[in-house]
Amino acid sequence: MTNDEFRRYGHQVVDWMADYLENIREYPVLSSIQPGDLVDRLPAAAPERGEPMDAILEDFEQSIVPALTHWNHPRFLAYFAVSGSPPGILGEMLMAALNVNGMLWKSCPAATELEQVTLSWLRQWMGLPQEFFGIIYDTASIASMHAIAAAREMADPEVRTRGNTGRLVMYTSEQSHSSIEKGGITLGIGQNNIRQIPVDESFRMRVDILRERMEADRQASLSPFLVVATVGTTSTSSIDPVPAIADVAEEYGAWLHVDAAYGGAAAVVPELRGVLNGAERAHSLVVNPHKWLFTPIDCSVFYTTRPEILRRAFSLVPEYLKTGENPRAINLMDYGVQLGRRFRALKLWFVMRNLGHDGICAIIRSHIGYAQKLAALIRSHRDFEVAAPTPFSLICFRYRGSDDDNRALLEKVNASGKAFLSHTVLNGRFVIRLAIGNIATQWQDLEEVWDLVKQTAAREQGDDAGLPQAVN
Ligand code: PLP
């Protein structure tokens, strides 16, 4: 590609992106393709000769776009939003153009130092103490895995050479994200040594049971080494009682990790800072700017007050990567399993600077406000119920019918292409989840979705005599 062509297609692609974001509501949120359709549509082998960009862009439009789930859609309300923003997209484009590898300070001083600066800014916004050292990983799953590895290193430094003994035990709630258990599996802790502590009626970890289990394990000559609390659980966004959990973790000398992948973003809003109460006592915490801080995936921020332990767990420097010692030259490869690393701080810096603290707070406040308003509407409807508290911007609700009725309702709503909601199971019952977090979501979008849900339930009632009447 010549430089002139690069310039021309670059402009064309940016124009496409601007049109896409402007007209996003015209796309169906969920693709209607069937599994395997795209594979069948595309050639089985790569082209022998280079093809013109016009043909590639045409195929992108005709084959790839119809197979997309539009996470940018303001009525994408499933899972937790992975919401980008225009400044984040521009940062991501420049990252690709620069294509630096920030494994060492020397391999790209800008990547290393901008990461320190942006994560210090974010730490201040979240009200976390200065001792928290920050590093960016790709996802919260990987960040939490690093927390488990650091906790293991603190409890049993021999593990690096000798391997696991099978005596280390970790604790998390039964509502915590599956990535915590996966991290424990990956690091050889073993599923038998991962305790899923029951929750209370608001889906928060039961601290009395945590203490009982840790004590029982200690009596059995096992070593409780890590407690993982969650601020904003995946199913309901519940907030574990972190201060009380910190007391217990401290009593047993265990590492405390806080998974605030989603909920941590709310702490950026000054009046919501309390959601992280107790987290200042944690050894580590993860928050995902790619969830609710409008930074394109992937960008997960890991903070720890014990970076030296993280480094001890992971540092292994082959000759070809040795550099001179300078305390200000941090080599980020020493703080994790990966060597190569993308310049993710660039897009976060673009987002933080362009949206500003005020801008980000305003969007998060609006999402929480919409959730409160919608939850009140759902609660006041005789055919629906809210199934869990709504501390952030996630609403769990259900139609007052059977699980099958709720499953059918969700499927119909999603098949309409007008919205995408997800589900969970709470206390053995199927529950619909509606998570607000997209930068483009307006109250009108949510009114439309609520109307769609009510109308679909009413229509289902016509199809199925077993369903009660849905009314306004
Ligand atoms: N932790 C919580 C509380 C989550 O809700 C999620 C995903 O939704 C994760 C961790 C995993 O996030 P990631 O996709 O960044 O690994």
Residue 465 scores a pLDDT above 60: no
User: Which domains can be identified in the chain, with CATH numbers?
Assistant: 1-30+69-84+357-472 (3.90.1150.170), 101-342 (3.40.640.10)
Half-sphere exposure in the Cβ direction for 324 (13 Å, CA): 3
Atom of ligand 1 nearest to the CA of 141: 16
Please state the rounded mean pLDDT for residues 446-463.
Answer: 91
Model confidence over 199-247: pLDDT tens digits?
999 999 999 999 999 999 999 999 999 999 999 999 999 999 999 999 9
Question: What number does the ligand 1 atom closest to the CA of 290 have?
Answer: 15
- Tens-place pLDDT, residues 24-76: 999 999 999 999 999 999 999 999 999 999 999 999 999 999 999 999 999 99
Helices and strands (H and E) in the chain: how many:
15, 11
Quote the ligand 1 centre to 210 CA distance (angstroms): 23
> Distance between CA 48 and CA 78 in Å, rounded?
40
Indicate the top mutation candidate among 148, 175, 234 to test ligand 1's pocket, ranked by most ligand atoms within 8 A of CB: 234
Among 153, 125, 161, which residue's Cα sits nearest to residue 348?
A: 125
Which atom of ligand 1 lies at the shortest distance from residue 260's CA? 3
110 vs 324 pLDDT, higher one: 110
| Arithmetic mean of pLDDT over the chain | 96
Q: What pLDDT is stored for residue 111 in this prediction? A: 97
The reported pLDDT for the residue numbered 470 is 45
Q: Which residues line ligand 1 (CB under 6 A)?
A: 79-80, 139-141, 177, 179, 230, 232-234, 259, 261-262, 288, 300
Nearest-CA residue for atom 12 of ligand 1? 140
Residue partners of 147: CB distance under 8 A and separation at least 6: 183, 226, 228, 255, 257, 283, 284, 286, 302, 304
Q: Which two tokens stand for residue 390?
A: 């709504």
One-letter-per-residue 3-state SS of 137-165:
ECCHHHHHHHHHHHHHHHHCCCHHHHCCC
- Supply the DSSP string of 189-208, one letter for each residue: --GGGEEEE-B-TTS-B-HH
pLDDT band at 460 (very low <50, low <70, confident <90, very high): confident
Taking the centre of ligand 1 as the mean of its atom positions, its distance from the CA of residue 394, in whole angstroms, is 14
Q: Name the residue of 230, 291, 301 to mutate for ligand 1: max ligand atoms within 8 A of Cβ.
A: 291
Question: Residue 468: pLDDT above 70?
Answer: no
pLDDT at 423 over 70: yes
Residue nearest to atom 5 of ligand 1 (CA): 234
